[in-house]
Structure 1
Amino acid sequence: MGVYWAIAVRSFRRFSTYRIATLSGAFTNTVFGFIFCGVYLTLWHSSPGLGGYDVSDALTFVWLQQGLLAPIGIFGATTTMELGERVRTGEIAVDLYRPTQLMIWWLSVDAGRAWFQLLTRGGAPLLVGAIVFDLNFPSSVGQWLAVVVGLAFGILVSFGVRYLVALSGFWITDSRGLESLAMVLSLFFSGTILPLVVFPGWIGAVARATPWAATLQVPIDIWLGRNPGGTTSGLGFQLFWIVVLFLAGRLATVFATRKVVIAGG
C-alpha cells in the first residue's frame, strides 16, 4: 500500500503545479455558479418546492455542483484520459511491466488528482456562494461524516466508469469517441444540467438508477439531507455501483491484458 500512497501523493503534487489553470478553473466554476443561480431562481420561483427542494436547497445544489465537477471528473479527468491514450499508443505496455496492479495504480493517480481539485476548485466556488447566498450546510457531525464518505464514494464510482471507458481502447483501438459519449451521459444523468429530482416519471427513475447519479446527485442529496430513503440508502446505492464497476474493471483488465493489438498498441 505504501507504493500506491506514494503515487497518490505525487499525483497531488503534480496537479498542484498547475496554479494558473486551477485558478482559472475555479473562476470559471464561480461564474457559471452565478449563471445557474439565475436560472434556478427563475425556475423555483415559478414552481416552488420543485422536486422537493426549496430555493435554498436549489442554490446550495448549484454551488456544490460547480465545486464537484472537477474533483469527480464529470467532464472526464486527465488521469483516465491519459490511460486511454496510453492504450491507444501502446505505452500501456510500460504500465503492465510494473510490479503493481494496473487498476489500483491508476486509481491512486486519480485519487491524488481528485483530492487536490476538491480542496481548490471545490472549496473556492462554495465559499463564494456561501458569502452571497443563504446556503444549507450539514447540521451534525454524523451528517458531515456521511458527506465525506459520499464524496469519496462518488469519486470512486466516477473512476470506475472512466477506467472501463479507457480500457475499451483494447477492443476498439481508440477510446476517444466512447469518452465523448460517456461525458454526454455523465452530464445528463449525474445532475449537472438539472437536479435529477426534477426529472419526471420513468425518466427520473431511470436517471437515478444509473451509476452517474451516484457521482454527483447522491452526495449532494446527502449534504442536503434529501436523499430518498435516507443517507444509508444513498451510501448503499453508491457502494453497490462501486462493487459492480470495480469487479467489471478487474475482469476487463484481465481480458484486456491477454489481448494483443498490432495496430496501435
Structure 2
Amino acid sequence: MLRAYVLIALWEARPGLAGYDVTDAITFCFLTQGFIGPMQVFGGGLELSQRVRTGDIALDLVRPASLQMWSLADDLGRAAFLFLARSIPPTLAGAALFGIRWPSSAGTWAAFAVSMALGIVVSFALRYLIALASCWIVDDRGVQSLALAMTTFFSGMVLPLVIFPGWLGELARALPWAALVQVPADVFLGKADVAAALGFQVLWAAAILALGALVTRAARKKVVIQGG
C-alpha cells in the first residue's frame, strides 16, 4: 500500500509519465507484488546450492535425467502454487482498495498468461546459473546478493523501467531481468507490442537456458563438495 501511494504521488506530480496514468501505476504496483512469488524476484527457490554443500549434487549429476530440466519442472510446480497463494490475493486486495485496470479482451489475458509463464522460465534460468556457481565457489552468498540487487533494480520491481531516462532506460529494458516484471506488466496493461514482448522473453529464455546447459556440462567435470 505504501508503494502504491508513492507511485500515485509520482504520477499526480507528472501526469502521463511514460504513457502511464495513475490507474496504470497502481495496477503496476499490485501486479509486481504478485510477481514476487512465482518469479522468485528476491532469489532462491532452488535447492542446488544446498545440495552442493551436502554433496548430494554428485548423485544429481550422474542421473540420466537432465539436472536443468528436472529443476525447471520442480520450479514450475513451485511457481504454480505461489501464483495461487501469493499472486492472486495481493492483486485482488489492490483492486478492492485502490481499483486497478483489468485487460479488456480475452486475447490480452491469453498473452499475459503466456508472458507470465515465460517470465517464470527466464527467472528460473537466471537463478539456475547463480545456483550452479556453488560448484566452483565455496560460499555463494556474495553472488546471490549481487543477483538480488540486479534483479530488484533491473526487473522493474523498484520503479517501472519505462521511466528510466536515456541510455539507462534502454539498457534496463534490453536486459533479461525486464522479462520478469516489466514485460508481463506491460502486456497486462496493453502497453506492449505483444509479438515483440513475447519474442523478447523467448529469446532470453532460450539463450540463458542454453548457457545453463553448457555450465551444467562443465559442472560434471568440476564440483566442489563440502559434505562428502
| Shorter-normalised TM range | over 0.9
Tell me the equivalent position of 1:197: 162
Tell me the equivalent position of 2:12: 45
Aligned with residue 232 of structure 1, among 195, 198, 202: 195
How far the C-alpha of 1:262 sits from its partner, in A, is 6.1
Tell me the equivalent position of 1:118: 83
Distance 2:107 2:54 in 1: 47
Tell me the TM-score normalised to structure 2 length.
0.96
Q: In structure 2, the residue corresponding to 1:261 is in which secondary structure?
A: coil
Matched positions, count? 228
Aligned with residue 73 of structure 1, among 23, 40, 48: 40
- Alignment of 1:88 onto 2:31: no
Q: Give structure 1 stretches of 5+ with no counterpart.
A: 1-33
Q: In structure 1, the residue corresponding to 2:102 is in which secondary structure?
A: coil
Distance 1:260 1:83 in 2: 12
Distance 1:208 1:141 in 2: 26
Counterparts in 2 of 1:110 and 1:262: CA distance versus 1, 3 Å = closer
Report if the CA contact (8 A) 1:87-1:166 is conserved. no
Report if the CA contact (8 A) 2:135-2:225 is conserved. no
Q: What percent of counterpart residues are identical?
A: 50
Aligned with residue 258 of structure 1, among 204, 221, 228: 221
- Equivalent runs, 1:235-250 vs 2, <5 Å: 235-250=198-213
Report if the CA contact (8 A) 1:71-1:115 is conserved. yes
How far the C-alpha of 1:260 sits from its partner, in A, is 4.3
Distance 1:77 1:107 in 2: 13
How far the C-alpha of 1:97 sits from its partner, in A, is 3.6
- What amino acid sits opposite 2:59 in the alignment? V
Tell me the equivalent position of 1:150: 115
Report if the CA contact (8 A) 2:52-2:226 is conserved. no
Report if the CA contact (8 A) 2:55-2:226 is conserved. no
How far the C-alpha of 1:36 sits from its partner, in A, is 0.8
Report if the CA contact (8 A) 1:64-1:220 is conserved. yes
Q: In structure 1, the residue corresponding to 2:136 is in which secondary structure?
A: helix
Q: Give structure 2 stretches of 5+ with no counterpart.
A: none
- Equivalent runs, 1:84-233 vs 2, <5 Å: 84-227=49-192, 230-233=193-196
**How well do the aligned residues superpose, as a CA RMSD in angstroms?**
1.3
Report if the CA contact (8 A) 2:41-2:151 is conserved. yes
Higher relative contact order (CA 8 A, sep 6+): 2
- What amino acid sits opposite 1:170 in the alignment? C
Distance 1:54 1:239 in 2: 29
Report if the CA contact (8 A) 2:30-2:90 is conserved. yes
- What amino acid sits opposite 1:84 in the alignment? S
Q: In structure 1, the residue corresponding to 2:101 is in which secondary structure?
A: coil
